[in-house]
Amino acid sequence: MSDPWQECMDYCVEVTKQAGKMIQDALRKDISIMQKSSPVDLVTETDQKVEELIISSIKKKYPSHSFIGEESVAAGASSILTDNPTWIIDPIDGTTNFVHRFPFVSVSIGFALNKQIEFGIVYSCMEDKMYTARKGKGAFCNGIPIKVSEQQDITKTLVLTEMGFKKDPEHFRIMMANMQSILSIPVHGIRTPGSAAVNLCLVACGAADAYYHMGIHCWDMAGGSVIVTEAGGVVTDITGGPFDLMSRRLIAASRHGIAECIAKKIQQFHCGRDDTDD
C-alpha cells in the first residue's frame, strides 16, 4: 500500500535539492542585499526566488495544501496554522551567513498535518548535508541515521544560541545576561552558527548538546524540531514546558535534564507569536 506522506516527503527532498542548487549557484555571484525591519534583518533576491521555486513546485503537485513562508509572510501573507496540510518554509535560513558566505546556510521545510509536524527537511547547502526526519521513522543525514549525544552532565555540554541586534535595550541586556548565566554553570562553551535550522540539526547529530533561542519564527523551527525529536532529543518551550511551534521560542536538547537546567538559568523576554499580531 502506498504511503502518501512518504511520497510527499520524497517529493519535498527533490524540490529542496533544486532550491539548494539555486543557493549554491547564487553564492558564486554578486549577492543583491535588501533590508527588512532593521539594518541587520536582511533579505536577498535569492531568498525570494528560492521560496517562489519551492511553493510553485509544491503547489503544482499539491494544489489544496497551505503554505507559511518567511518571505510570503514578510510580504503580508498569513502565518496562521490550520489543520490543513501545511508547508512551513524558510528558503534561506541564515541569510546573513549567505551574504557573508559563512558556511551555515540552509533550506528548511516542515510539513504539518492537523497542526502537528509530520516530517522535516533541512538542507545545509554549503556543507551538502541533507537532514531528514519523519514522525516515528527516525532522523537521517544524507541517508545515514543520526542520534543526539548521550551527555547528561550539563557541565560537559556545548550549547548553541544566537545573538544579534535588539531594538529593545532590555531584550539586549537579557540576551547577554543569559549567555553569561549559561557559561557560568559552567558549560564547555557557547556557539552561535547563525542558522536556527542548522543549530537544531547539530543537536540532532550530537555535535552540540543543546540550543536555546527567543525571537525566532515557526519557519526557523518547523523542519529541525522533528529532526531533533526523531534523533532521540527533546524540544521544549523556553520555560521547559511543552513546545509550541508558533511561540517564537524553544529549547532543544539531547536530554530532558539538560533542557530543564537551561530553562532554570535563562530569563525570558516577550517576543510575541507567529499566529497573532501581538
- CATH architecture, domain defined by 154-265: 3-Layer(aba) Sandwich (3.40)
What is the pLDDT averaged over residues 148-153? 96
> Has 70 been annotated as catalytic?
yes
> Sheet holding 66-69: strands in order across?
66-69, 86-93, 106-113, 116-124, 129-134, 138-141, 144-145
Kindly report whether the peptide bond that precedes residue 39 is cis, defined as omega within 30 degrees of 0. Answer: no
Q: What is the pLDDT of residue 36?
A: 66
Contact criterion met (CB below 8 Å) for 212 and 266: yes
Catalytic residue chosen out of the listed positions 44, 95, 132, 157: 95
DSSP at 250: E
Does residue 278 register a pLDDT over 70? no
Catalytic residue chosen out of the listed positions 51, 71, 93, 274: 93
Q: How far apart are CA 270 and CA 80, in angstroms?
A: 19
Does residue 129 register a pLDDT over 70? yes
| Domains 4-145 and 154-265 are alike in CATH topology | no
Q: How far is CA 168 from the centre of its chain?
A: 23
Catalytic residue chosen out of the listed positions 47, 51, 90, 118: 90
> Has 277 been annotated as catalytic?
no
**Average pLDDT, rounded, for the chain:** 94
Q: What is the pLDDT of residue 41?
A: 65
**Three-class SS of residue 153?**
coil
DSSP at 242: B
What is the pLDDT averaged over residues 120-130? 97
> Has 92 been annotated as catalytic?
yes
Catalytic residue chosen out of the listed positions 220, 230, 274, 275: 220
Location of C-alpha cell 527532498: 13
Does residue 190 register a pLDDT over 90? yes
> Has 278 been annotated as catalytic?
no
Amino acid, single-letter form, for residue 5? W
Domain ranges of the chain: 4-145, 154-265
Q: What is the pLDDT of residue 276?
A: 87
What is the pLDDT averaged over residues 174-202? 97
Selection from 39-53, 145-159, 160-174 with the highest mean pLDDT: 145-159
Q: pLDDT by residue (tens digit) across 27-85?
A: 988 777 776 666 666 778 899 999 999 999 999 999 999 999 988 998 888 889 999 99
Tell me the pTM: 0.95
Q: What whole-number percentage of the chain has pLDDT above 70?
A: 96
**Three-class SS of residue 107?**
strand
Q: What topology does CATH give the domain 4-145?
A: Fructose-1,6-Bisphosphatase; Chain A, domain 1 (3.30.540)
> Has 220 been annotated as catalytic?
yes
